[in-house]
Amino acid sequence: MPTITTRTRADGTKSYRAAIRLKRKGQIVYRESRTFDRKALAKDWATRRELELQEPGALNRVLHRGVTIGGLVKRYQEEFGQGFGRSKAMDMERLQTYDLASQDAIEATSQDFVAHVVYRLKTVKPQTAANDLIWLRGVFKTARSAWGIPAALDALNDAAETCRRERLVAKPNKRSRRPSLEELEKILEYAKTTEARRTIPMDEIVLFAVFSARRQEEITRLRWADLDERNQMITVDDMKHPSQKTGNHRRVRLTDEAMAIIKRQPETSEFIFPYNSKSLSARFTEWCKYLGLRDLHFHDLRHECISWLFERGWDIPRVASVSGHTTWSSLQRYTHLSQHEHHDKYDSWQWRPQRKNL
């Protein structure tokens, strides 16, 4: 029940202070008060305000008033960011720099989110703008379920639907870029130069990526202790997975070529390739730019390996045993490469590693 307190001002006039207190399980969870010149107005406000706060979700909205979208993103990153991949971590940092980050997370409207997408489209493609909405949806869902903060998820979903309908955002294109033999030869020839080698044997790492389908982060996490030479397999720690960010350790098959490359590496560390994954990425990007190889990413070497295995006539289960895919449907787009003719583009390639004494 609200309480009305009468006070006498210095000039002799009276004021009426209406106060409300809300309890949950015997504990006061919310207080609010206002002062009026008339007692009837004080009673009317207090009664109406108590009814408003009893509506579903109203108290939560009041308790978390002032929480910004940027604040939610930051908290999400602090509490759950350990398992983020590099691109997601960078996107989360970037989201905190836009005007949208200063918006109230509870009061934000669909217009706010659409305006953000329109602004982003000045400098990025629709596929990239769509990522912002995807990350924000994850943040808002966590805020509602884990922290009890009623973030404006409905407004965000409405905005996403509008953006899809009006083609402001789009799904990412399936990348099909593969390096040619000539491009790989340029990289490997350049890797032989003193200037290029430095401290990282990029020729060995590029070849290993081509014949193992391992991502750059996975390559640098491979351990000698996890190598099963007899069965030609190795355990990959924390393999990338759409939902399981850590602990997804997968035992994968090594092709003959990949095994040959491993066997010629010096055992100077617990890791087979004891290098920083970011350095590999930076070096590869730098080389491609220098050599004039356009739109070639390190990850394309993984696609190359999978396509090559299908071209050799391998079936989906056997390819999955190398790539580490848990769902075969994600490999089906590669199978068209070998439906009519099986061939091995590396059959007589001078750089193909030879399996010896294994």
Main-chain dihedrals φ then ψ at residue 256, nearest 5 degrees: -55, -40
Inside any domain, residue 172: no
Identify whether residues 185 and 280 lie together within a single domain. yes
Output the CA torsion 40→42→43→44 (10° steps). Answer: 80
Q: Are 63 and 30 in contact (CB under 8 A)?
A: yes
Residues of the chain where predicted confidence (pLDDT) is lower than 70: 1, 57, 59-60, 62-64, 194-198, 241-247, 335-342, 355-358
- Residues whose CB falls within 8 Å of the CB of residue 323, separated by 6 or more in sequence, listed in order: 213, 252, 302, 305, 306, 331
**Confidence at residue 73, expressed as pLDDT on a 0 to 100 scale:** 96
Q: 155 and 226: one domain?
A: no
Predicted pLDDT of residue 358: 44
Quote the mean pLDDT of the chain. 88
The H-assigned helical ranges of the chain are 39-53, 58-63, 69-80, 86-95, 110-120, 126-146, 153-165, 181-191, 194-197, 202-212, 216-219, 256-263, 277-291, 300-311, 316-323
Residues ≥6 apart with Cβ < 8 Å to 202: 187, 191, 196, 280, 283, 284, 287
189: in domain: yes
Q: List pLDDT tens digits, range 273-284.
A: 999 988 898 999
Nearest to 168 by CA among 138, 129, 113: 129
Instruction: Provide the domain limits for residue 7.
Output: 3-63
**Of 30, 48, 63, the domain-final residue:** 63
Q: Tell me: the pLDDT tens digits for 36-68?
A: 999 999 889 888 888 877 777 676 676 667 889
- pLDDT, position 162: 96
In a domain, 347, yes or no: no
Positive or negative, the CA dihedral 53, 54, 55, 60 is positive
In a domain, 348, yes or no: no
Residues 110 and 36 in one domain: no
Could you tell me the pTM of the whole model?
A: 0.65
